Amino acid sequence: MEFLMGFVSDVLSVPAVLVGLVALLGLLFQKKPASDVISGTLKSILGFVILSGGATMLQGALDYMGPLLEIGFGIRGVVPNNEAIVAIAQQTLGTQTALIMVFGLIANLVFARVTPFKYIFLTGHHTFFMAALLSAVLGTAGLDGWLLVLTGSLILGGLMVLMPALASPYMDQVTGGAGVALGHFGTVGYWLSGTIGKLVGNREDSLEKYQFPKGLQFFRESVIATSLVMFIMFLIASLAAGNAETLRLSGGQNMLVFSLMQAVTFAGGVAVVLYGVRMIINEIVPAFKGFADIVVPDSKPALDCPITFPYAPTSVLVGFIVSFLGGLVSMFIMGLVGLPVIVPGLVPHFFVGGTAGVFGNATGGRRGAIAGAFVNGILISFGAAFLLPTLGALGFANTTFGDADFQLVGILVGGIGNLFKGSPYVIAAVLLAILAAILIVGTVTHKGSRAGQKAA
C-alpha cells in the first residue's frame, strides 16, 4: 500500500509523468498502434524533461544575478520564490497539501465536465504550489481536517478551470488557435497585460515584425539577442558588485568570462525550453484528443507558461526586462511609503513578465507588450508585499509567492479568515459561495457569448 501511494503521489506531483500519463491514455483511447503509443508517451515526457532542464539552466544563471545586484546596488528585502516557501510549508503541512492536490485534480475533472470551462490543468508543480498555499492560509484561518481538505480541493479545482478560461480569449490570439490553453497561476497578470494591450496599442504593430538594420540582423535570432542583452546585464551587475565579489561568486573566474558564460547559459536555457515546448505541443495535443473525448469532451490541455514563448520570442525578452523595471520602481515606492520591500525576483519576472509581454504583444503589439509587462511587474511586486502579513503569521516572513494568482488567492482567503475569525464553517461557506458565484456568472456569460456568436 505504501508503494502504491508513493507511486500515485509521484505521478500526480511530477509534471512530466502526469503529462505522459495523459498522452498514454489518449493514445490508448484512440486505439493507436503500440509503436505510436510508446513513441507519443515518451516524447511527451521527454518534452517536459527538456523544458525543465532549460528552466533549470535559466534559474541557475539568474541565481547569480540576485547576489550581484544586492551587493552592487545595496538592494535588500524579501525575494519572492515559490519553491522556497512551498518547501518550508511542507515541513508542517505536507499531508494536507497532498490531499488537496489529489482531490483538487478530481475536482478539476468534475468542473470541466459540468461547466463550459473545458480545461484540464496539467502544470503539476503549480497545482502543488497552490495546494500548499491553500493548506497554509486555510489552516491559519482555523480550518482543519476534512473541512480544510474539502474546501481547499474545491477551490483548487475551480481555479484549475477558471484561470485557463480567463486567459483563453488572449491565448487564442497568442497561439493562433493551436488547441492548447494556459495552465499557470500567473493568469491575472497575463489577462491584465492582454487587456492593457488592447487599450494602448495595435496588435498589427507586433514586436516580432520589427526589422533590424542590416548590420544588426543577427538580433532577429532570439538566442543571440538574449545572449547579448543578458551579457550587458551581467556585466553591469558584476561591475557594480566589484571584482572581488564577482570572483568569490564565480569561483575565481574572470569578470568578462563569467558574465559571458552566464549570459550564454541563460540563452541556451531559453533555446532548450523552446525545443521542449515544441515537442510537447507536437505530441500532447493530438494524444489529448482521445483522453478528452472520453472523460471531458471538447476539453483542452492547459500547459505551463513557456508554451507561449515560441510564438513571440522577442516579446518574451522585452517583457522580462520591462517587468523587472516595474519591479524596481515598485521596490523604491515601497521603501518610501513604508511597505515591506520586495526585491524583484529574476525568475518570476522572466517567466511571468515574459509571458505578460507575449500577451500584451498579441493584443497591442509593441506598446501593449511594454505597458502590459510593466504593469505586471508592479502587480506581482505589490501583490507579494500585501501577501506577506498573511504568510508572516505562519512563520514564513522571509519569502513569499511571486505569481499573481497565488497572491490574489492568499490575500482573499486570509482576509476572509480575519473577517470571520474563529468560525471555520462560516469561512468555508463564504469561500465556496464566492467560488460558486464566479462559476455561475462565468457560465451565464459564456453561454451569452456563444449565443451572440451564433446569432452573428
* DSSP 3-state of 121: strand
Residue 363 grid coordinates = 493584443
Going by pLDDT thresholds of 50, 70 and 90, the confidence category of residue 452 is very low
For residue 156, the one-letter residue type is L
Give the tens place of pLDDT for each residue, 207-257: 888 765 655 555 556 677 778 777 887 888 888 888 888 888 888 888 888
Q: Please report, rounded to a whole number, the percentage of residues in the chain having pLDDT higher than 90.
A: 27
> Residue 182 gets which letter from DSSP?
E
Please provide residue 388's backbone torsions phi and psi, each rounded to the nearest 5 degrees.
-55, -45
Quick one: how far is CA 155 from the chain centroid?
A: 18
CA 287 – CA 28 distance, rounded (Å): 9
Q: How confident is the model at residue 167 (pLDDT cuts 50, 70, 90)?
A: very high
CA 258 to the chain's CA centroid = 29
Is the sign of the CA dihedral 427, 433, 438, 439 positive or negative?
positive
153-165 pLDDT per residue, tens = 999 999 999 999 9
Within 13 A of 405's CA, how many CA atoms are on the CB side? 25
What's the rounded mean pLDDT across residues 315-332?
Answer: 90
Mean pLDDT, rounded, of the chain: 82
- The predicted-structure confidence for 96-105, as pLDDT tens digits, reads as follows 877 888 788 8
Cα three-residue angle 422-424-430, rounded to 5 degrees: 115
Q: What is the DSSP letter of 177?
A: S
Number of other residues whose CB lies within 10 A of the CB of residue 398? 14
Quote the pLDDT of residue 273.
72
Secondary structure (H, E, C), 350-399:
HHHHHHHHHHHHHHHHHHHHHHHHHHHHHHHHHHHHHHHHHHHCCCCCCC
The mean pLDDT value for 304-316 works out to 88
Distance (Å, whole) CA 311 – CA 258: 31
Q: What is the DSSP letter of 185?
A: T
Alpha helices per DSSP H over 393-421: 404-419
For residues 366 and 119, what is the distance between their CA atoms, to the nearest angstrom?
30
Distances (CA, A) of 442 to 32, 302, 424: 37, 18, 27
For 338-374, the pLDDT digits (tens) are 787 787 877 788 889 999 999 999 999 999 999 999 9
Written as nine digits, the cell of 4 is 502504491
Lowest mean pLDDT, pick from 40-49, 131-140, 303-312, 433-442: 40-49
Given this model, what pLDDT does residue 162 score?
94
Mean pLDDT of 433-456: 72
Contact at 8 Å (CB) between 417 and 137?
yes
Give the H/E segment covering residue 200.
Answer: helix 187-200
Longest pairwise C-alpha distance within the chain = 69
Q: Which three cell numbers stand for residue 383?
A: 501583490
Residue-level pLDDT at 456: 45
Residue 288 or 307, more confident = 307
The residue-averaged pLDDT of 83-102 equals 70
DSSP label of 305: G
Distance CA 306, CA 207 (A): 18
Q: Is the pLDDT of residue 311 over 80?
A: yes
Query: For residue 252, what is its C-alpha cell?
Result: 575565481
C-alpha cell, 150: 474539502
Cα 288 to Cα 1: distance, rounded to the nearest angstrom: 30
Least-confidence region, from 10-14, 105-109, 254-258, 441-445: 10-14
**Would you state the pLDDT for residue 393?**
57
Between CA 96 and CA 81 the distance in angstroms is 21
